[in-house]
Structure 1
């Protein structure tokens, strides 16, 4: 079994301290150095708007300062990553206020892209597109609905709206085959929340479970040569041995763990597998900055993945 050496680990750590923006450095410290979650929360609040949502390039491919559903979900996932669940905290109260407002909420769910994205540097997939939203919004909607179902008062209007939306997108599994880039992961998150008995009368969990497991298996790119360019890797869905998707995909997970160890650049962190494509010439400087922010965030993800499977020689 291949192990990330202590030397490579220290190279990653050094790169993070030299290059990461404050938020990702705080996340690194929390994840690997017993850092404070309060420090992460404090920095994260600088990306929160008065309406409670998040913007300001928190998601590095979209430089829109306005609150968007996806950037707000991005913040929620950071809070989940550090295990912060105090909904009475102002940062969560703002998030709930944003979600309750119904802004950027269509009949099919929360919008993937919003009109004001077009006014700021962004990757092409963040360009506002009404038709693309109908598909690409599935993943965001599933995850936001899961967050609400897990955390909100069951008698609240927001909870009932989220439950209605969750049932709607679960029905989509029976009639639709394209769920966008984020859809399958969104269903994975929702699946984990609705597995309790209280939802059995509302949603066909057994069907959802079987269908999502099949989608996960089929969506993973098993041609490793394509991972350098793109391709869905097992870590998109499986981040620890406890994952419900691990058993059926154990071999390809082990392959990815070896791949990460084999491809770590010397004195650097892993590169990203995308650009801003047609938007890169127009926003060349912004993409260069975005790329560095992403490399830092992905270093935390990949490092955590390796650590969770016992593949780092000397984690903190």
Structure 2
């Protein structure tokens, strides 16, 4: 129960995190106001209602994109903010309703204007790659549209069509992309909530099978960018936890062992062939990601009883 770990990570956050992640840290662990997170997040929103400006630290495109807008939605969900009348929310609804940056298969993972900006190579525009990498993005955004937007919205029937077209992909053995399983995990409950007649028991079982098979189980590989158990298991309440308790325990110890002395955890990726061209931007992005990763890791360690969070400060 290491409160020293918490104190050291907290100090690093106050010294290094950008205002958004610091507000999120305070909201999650210090009794901070969710409104401060919303206020910080608003600075990444564009006039069209979408989000850009390196909200996702690996893509410095100031223009709105579906993925960066999903990042904003995930943050709002994380802090329990659901005021649909708020201008931030209204902007998101407007951006999604416009159908911007969408194609016949759903919302685009990468967009053409990315190529003019500092970025990781996976954010370079590639329409062929989009057909796979957009699976999880489209699934997650469809889940939001189906549960939070008016059925009379012009985007609603398109989202429903896209969503139902994704379900057979789960049943098959093909590639689902980086975000596929996570997006489908959000989509299934949304389809169930809206009364779509599907074999949910079998689909949830299949989702669990595919997630279980995707877990990288060798700790020697965890310094690489691979799906560790925590990609799919965030607490002991996870349905995947009982059969993966042993490997999850290994990851928790790995996290305790690999934190930088007096600091936070390293990231497990680089910008590869674009790293030299954008060396300065990557150095900044790396720090932004460390802050985001620190929040997630402290939450994970707390959920499994590896650290005690102090009372609200």
Residues 102-117 of structure 1: matches in 2 within 5 Å? Answer: 102-117=99-114
1:282-297 equivalences under 5 Å are: 282-297=277-292
Return the match for 1:247 from 229, 234, 242.
Answer: 242
The residue that corresponds to 2:115 in the other structure is: 118
Residue deviations 1:29-56, cap 9 Å, x none? Answer: 0011000100000010000000000000
C-alpha distance in structure 2 between counterparts of 1:229 and 1:53, whole Å: 32
Tell me which residue corresponds to 1:211.
206
Q: Distance in 1 between matches of 2:21 and 2:192?
A: 32
The alignment status of 1:53 with 2:53, answered yes or no, reads no
User: Mapping of 1:189-268 within 5 angstroms?
Assistant: 189-196=186-193, 198-201=194-197, 203-268=198-263
Query: Which residue matches 2:151?
Result: 154
Aligned partner of 1:141 in structure 2 is 138
**2:265 equivalent to 1:270:** yes
- TM-score with structure 2 setting the length: 0.96
For each residue in 1:110-159, what CA deviation from the matched residue of structure 2 results, as whole angstroms up to 9, or x when unmatched? Answer: 00000000000000000000100000000100100111122122343322
CA-CA distance at 1:270 after TM superposition: 0.2
CA RMSD of aligned residues (A): 1.4
* 1:165 correspondence with 2:162: yes
Where structure 2 has 5 or more consecutive residues not aligned to the other structure, the ranges are: none
Which residue in 2 is equivalent to 1:33? 30
Is residue 305 from structure 1 mapped to residue 300 from structure 2 by the alignment?
A: yes
1:65 CA drift (Å): 0.2
Determine which of 55, 60, 63 is the counterpart of 1:63: 60
**C-alpha separation in 1, matches of 2:91 and 2:191:** 25
C-alpha contact 2:20 2:40 (8 A) present in aligned 1: yes
Provide the residue aligned with 2:180 in structure 1. Answer: 183
On the 8 A contact 1:194/1:205 being kept in 2, the answer is no
Query: SS at the partner of 1:173?
Result: helix
Q: Which has the higher contact order (CA 8 A, sep 6+)?
A: 1
Greater shift in the superposed pair: 93-102 or 154-163: 154-163
Give the gaps of 5 or more residues in structure 1. Answer: none
